[in-house]
Amino acid sequence: MSISIKSPREIELMRISNRMLAEMHLELEKLIEPGLPTIALDEAAAKFIKEHEVESNFLNYDGYPASICVSVNEEVVHGIPSKEKRLQEGDIVAIDAGIIYKGYHSDAARTYGVGKISADRQKLIDETRNAFFEGIKAARAGNHVSDISNAIADYIEPFGYGIVRELVGHGVGTSLHEDPQIPNFRQKRRGAKLEAGMTLAVEPMINLGRGDVEWLDDDWTVVAADGSPSAHYENTILITDGDPEILSLI
């Protein structure tokens, strides 16, 4: 395993990439309403990316056909935006996106309610987000990847939610997916030691029911096997000599 340690120049480029991504997420959030076709979110993202003269790191990644992923309700990740699928009152929708700025990638995901949503769905969204912040308390130089994983699991398990195991967080930099992998479930091995200058995408994916998932026939969309709603929250962070820096929040 070779984990990239970013130079000050590289870190600054990643800050810029992630800052733009955070701005794009805020713009997309404003569009979410009942009746909106999910393709409209992709079109807005593509427009933002073009106007800022950057690239989507999702478009054409292993053949993925859109600029962002839009996953609704039981869709965990990698939902493909479409003209036919429209958001409905009470849905929850996860937007996962990333851009490339001067060769450096950013990656972040958010889950939102559409109109008025049920209390259990709102709690799932909130606790998935909270799990991210609990996890990164352990994201400090000298700790190990397992410290992040175990902190997320420790927080989520008491709620009885299902933690997705087939999909994990990862390093990010000049590639969208770099070492190390960062599971959201309890680890027996310590994993890689964290060092200042590492940039990581930490991303809890949590189901209201069981954690088991299936892939749809489009070979991209991952869904909760029991049909339960799923939430996803992700940021790119920088390991420092103190608290981690969240690059994709403004």
- pLDDT tens digit string along 148-172? 999 999 999 999 999 999 999 999 9
DSSP-assigned beta bridge partners for residue 72: 93
The b-or-e profile of 18-54 (16+ CB within 10 A means b, else e) is: bbbbbebbeebeeebeeebbbbbbbbbbbebbeeeeb
Helix runs in the chain, H state only? 8-31, 38-51, 119-136, 145-156
| Average pLDDT score over residue span 197-209 | 98
Q: Which domains does the chain have, with CATH numbers?
A: 8-246 (3.90.230.10)
Q: Is the pLDDT of residue 44 over 80?
A: yes
Q: Is the pLDDT of residue 2 over 90?
A: no
Query: Per-residue pLDDT tens for 96-112?
Result: 999 999 999 999 999 99
Q: Region of 62 please: left (phi>0), alpha (psi -120 to 50) or beta.
A: left
Structure tokens at 74: 């039981």
How many angstroms separate the CA atoms of 142 and 151, rounded?
16
pLDDT for 218:
97
pLDDT for 186:
95
- Average pLDDT taken over every residue of the chain: 98
- Nearest alpha-carbon partner for 73 in 83, 85, 64, 65: 85
Tokens 């990698």 locate to: 78
How many angstroms separate the CA atoms of 100 and 195, rounded?
24
How many angstroms separate the CA atoms of 224 and 228, rounded?
6
Tokens 């390093």 locate to: 171
Residue 150 contacts residue 118 (beta carbons within 8 Å): no
Q: Is the pLDDT of residue 1 over 80?
A: no
